[in-house]
Chains A and B, each alone.
Chain A
Amino acid sequence: DTAVSQTPKYLVTQMGNDKSIKCEQNLGHDTMYWYKQDSKKFLKIMFSYNNKELIINETVPNRFSPKSPDKAHLNLHINSLELGDSAVYFCASSELPGQSSYEQYFGPGTRLTVT
């Protein structure tokens, strides 16, 4: 019973293509996130959604568009892929801010390689 799942785990594509990464959580959480981990292992938040509403957008290029069809899903669509988009993308979820536990649960990551 995977708490936070992502598909695909690996994605290899060419520059200029459009691709999507899907994320689903079965924890009943209201908040979901996308993080990017670059080649130097640095992790940085990209977006957060709270009950389908965008809360955080960390100066991510417009080519990246998150979509939340319901509070259990947060997909990431990337247009016109560039070499610099190659990274591992993590989805995460947590309870609402202010909740005492408030731990962020991470998915297994999607390694995106743009050639």
Chain B
Amino acid sequence: AQTVTQSQPEMSVQEAETVTLSCTYDTSESDYYLFWYKQPPSRQMILVIRQEAYKQQNATENRFSVNFQKAAKSFSLKISDSQLGDAAMYFCAYRHFGNEKLTFGTGTRLTIIP
């Protein structure tokens, strides 16, 4: 069974600084997708960024980028120029290609310090 581990229950960063959230996963599959979701206090789940396992290039979305290390099964999220609106729970998630099921990590609560 696939598992997703987020070892940092809480992180904090100064506004305008950069922070990296860690995620590791365990799978025996070779084709899969990885995601980072953001859940602000409104509790809406918002997709931040996704990575296809077959792509070597790391995904980027504006201030958000990932460091995808397939061999190490690591998928960290880097947030540059942190803003107050980035404060939220961040969930790493895994899905095997062709399978509907999303497996989530336990989340990291990110606090932005003004």
B99: interface (CB < 8 Å): yes
Within 8 A of A (CB), among B84-114: 89, 91, 95, 97-104, 106-107
A97 pairs with B102, CB closer than 8 A: no
Binds B, one of A11-19, A64-72, A103-111: A103-111
A88 pairs with B43, CB closer than 8 A: yes
A88 CA to B46 CA, complexed, in Å:
16
Contact of A108 among B43, B89, B102 (CB under 8 A): B43
Contacts of B102 in A (CB 8 A): 33, 35, 45, 104
Contacts of B89 in A (CB 8 A): 41
Return A32 CB to nearest CB of chain B, in Å: 10
Q: How many residues of B contact A (CB 8 A)?
A: 22
Binds B, one of A20-28, A48-56, A76-84: A48-56
Return A109 CB to nearest CB of chain B, in Å: 5
A106 CA to B100 CA, complexed, in Å:
14
Q: How many A-B contacts at CB < 8 Å in the complex?
A: 51
Question: Would you call the interface of chain A mostly helix, strand, loop, or mixed?
Answer: strand
A102 pairs with B33, CB closer than 8 A: yes
Contact of B100 among A41, A48, A103 (CB under 8 A): A48
Interface size class of chain A, counting residues whose CB lies under 8 Å from the partner chain: 20 to 34
B44 pairs with A56, CB closer than 8 A: no
Contact of A43 among B46, B47, B91, B97 (CB under 8 A): B91
A42 CA to B45 CA, complexed, in Å:
13
A108 pairs with B44, CB closer than 8 A: yes
| Beta-carbon nearest neighbor of A104 in chain B | B102
A103 pairs with B101, CB closer than 8 A: no
A45 pairs with B45, CB closer than 8 A: no
Binding site for A on B (CB under 8 A): 33, 39, 42-47, 50, 89, 91, 95, 97-104, 106-107
Binding site for B on A (CB under 8 A): 31, 33, 35, 40-45, 48, 50, 55-56, 58, 88, 90, 92, 94, 97-98, 102-104, 106, 108-109, 111
